[in-house]
Structure 1
Amino acid sequence: MYLKFFNLKDFPFAVGADPRFFYESGIHAEALANMQYVVEQRKGMVVITGEVGAGKTFLSNILAGRLERVAQVVMVTHPPDSAKQLLRAVAEGLDIKTTRIDDKLDLVAQLEKSLERLYRRGKLVAALFDEAQDMPDEALEQIRLLWNMERDAHRLIQVVLVGQPQLRDRLRLEKWESLRQRVVLSYHLGRLSPQETARYILHRRQVASQNGCLLRFTPQALERIHQATRGIPRLINIICDNCLLIAYAKNAFTINDAVVCEVLRDMTCWPIQTAPAQAEPTGDAL
């Protein structure tokens, strides 16, 4: 709708995991490098946590994309409701036929045999489990047992657990001490600071821009967006996309504080107290 108006080639604030729009701050770059090293060197489990909308799935997809250069990657995007379902999900990710296998021990044996074959061929296998905080105990315990599979003192499968902060709280329980001891790297995705929020927004605009992009944000608008979203990327995308729609309807190229306030007033399901828009100079838009 508004792409031609702002001279954009893509929607800059679409909610999705397009790797072109990944904002790699210094912290993200270091975390990704460390996680990639741990998995590729078979050092131990990795845990990624963050609140809803913080970008956990986006980050894990970027990690998976980098690992695919050297590994066979299995992505389990929905928490399995049993150990057997978890085993089937991993097997299917490795193209192992399990339709005729119903017994859990037979599933384990088939999976271990296939993982050993891949290991003998020099193939690294990495499994990423999203929404891991919702796994039942038996599925989480099965992950520990999977990780214990080894040949020649090398683990046959590397594991990355991705989840909300409850996952960290769960792993701190005494009953999960054995699993926790296998975690060698844990990374928590925090909220973006005001400066990072501004850079995040401008980065996504740059990726979506064509030559002569007309879209601008005032500093006051960027500050208001951060205050309203608390630096959570998914919420930033939602607010910004609505701001572009309002600006387009007003035939305006600049997102100012008044536009952001109008969007926030319309977001009636959000618990936000919106102060009056600030008067602001027109020459300092970014």
Structure 2
Amino acid sequence: MSARYPSAKIRYPEGAAGDEGVDLFQGDLTRGSTVWQCKAFTVTILGDSQKRQIKESLRDAIKNVQPQQWILCLNLNLDTKAARWFERLQESYASQSIAVADPFDAMELARELMFRRTIRNHFFPNLMLDVQELRSLVKAAARGMDSIGDVDLEKLATENTEEYLDRLRQRDPRFTYEVTFGGERGPNVFPPPHEPNLISSMTDGRKIIKAYARDHEALRQDPVGSLFQFNETGGQKFLDFIRTGKEQVWTPEEIRAFKST
């Protein structure tokens, strides 16, 4: 949780003398705080025993620290029956002006671990193949090195990106290009908002390539042309665009080939 909310000053109380229903907390315990209660069960479905433990922890937290918000962390996902039970629990405490948040369950935990490699490797060292580390070792071996540090990796990435941009410029110097690597923010970043001189933008899910008009006179004399090859659904979108002029977004799977002229 500290990694997820780095500026929230989440604290971990020592529980040897009893944690009073608090595993993690943020804020002032005397004036209402956010409390996390962590439960690691050895079952895959919540039973009466586990539900009783959860309710007891919630009652302890309310009795001892009166939190503004209580969050249950679980190492499993709730089935439909358990989800309905928890919703009733939330409703019963909402009438007392106590916010019982939706559980931080196994799915949420797995999603966080996907993006937090240091934590994942520390607590779950054999959970999955570290592709990034493997790539780094291969690159280092190709250069006669044991490993590539952050500074060397940044330099290598910069050099590769500059070479890629130079190749794009060589293909059509009428444009300036911008390449953004990433993808962790999801599909909402594409298509990008309108920018002056932005002619086109494309993505393969890992990077976004933008082309900006540089030589306006050359583009007026020799307008840009494009050749596309679509699959069936991509072709239907193109026909819809021709008929209606409605904006279309094609996925990488729908574009089989592309060439600018």
Query: Shared fold (TM-score greater than 0.5)?
Result: no
**Structure with greater helix share of residues:** 1
More strand by share: 2
TM-score by length of 1: 0.27
Tell which structure's C-alpha radius of gyration is larger: 2
Bigger RCO of structures 1 and 2 (CA < 8 A, at least 6 apart): 1
